[in-house]
Amino acid sequence: MVKSSGLSDSDRIKLLYIISLITILGNTLDFFSANLSDFIRLVNSTTILIVIVFVSATRFFKLRIIYSFWAVIYSLILNIIVSHLSNLHFNSDLSILRSILILTVLIPASAFLINRIHAIAIGLITLMFLYFFTYFAKSPFSIHNVSILTLLILGFSIGMYYLMFLLEESSILESPLITLIFQKVE
């Protein structure tokens, strides 16, 4: 199986550490800086714990890196969704937009680090999140911008999927050429 990004394992582990650190810092900042309910604090703490457990398992018990990426990315998505659902009628436009931005940033990360199909999956999750909260928030901003946000999220998701497809195809095509070059050098 071709790695979706072509990155070495040491590069992938560095990216896992960076994404995990950002996830932990973001949840910690929310924990201390926002006026959160005890339930959301529990959700943030659980996300931090999941990230630490999976990164530690990758580091010390040789858990495959892809499983840790999967756990970190999807625990963050679940954190965002559960946090907003617990405050269903008190979500501001900026809070929803901030979450859509975070979810959208996960599209290329998941495509490069897990598999290209995750770009589509997270794009669809982001669209469902957008539609659900546009319906419940009924704010003029969300209603007026849902079509452009839909277009942007769909375009970005499909674009990342196609980009990863092209990278994987070129990697498959280049592999025999590289082998041939090394054989001629010897």
Q: What is the pLDDT of residue 8?
A: 81
Whether the Cβ atoms of residue 127 and residue 177 lie closer than 8 Å to each other: no
| Residue recorded with tokens 């999927």 | 161
**In terms of C-beta density within 10 A (0-12 exposed, 13-18 middle, 19 or more buried), how is residue 26 classed?**
middle
* C-alpha torsion 30→131→109→50, nearest 10: 50
Low-confidence ranges of the chain (pLDDT < 50): 1-2
CA distances (Å), origin 2, targets 61, 62, 171: 24, 20, 8
Pairwise CA distance, residues 168 & 116, whole Å: 9
Cβ(65)–Cβ(16) below 8 Å: yes
> What backbone torsions phi and psi does residue 139 show, to the nearest 5 degrees?
-90, 145
| Structure tokens that stand for 186 in this block | 């010897």
> What is the per-residue pLDDT for 5?
59
**pLDDT for 2:** 46
**In this structure, what token pair is assigned to residue 169?**
């195809």
Query: At 166, is the secondary structure helix, strand, or coil?
Result: helix
d(CA 22, CA 139): 30
pLDDT value of residue 1: 41
Q: Burial of 107 by CB count in 10 Å (0-12 exposed, 13-18 middle, 19+ buried)?
A: buried
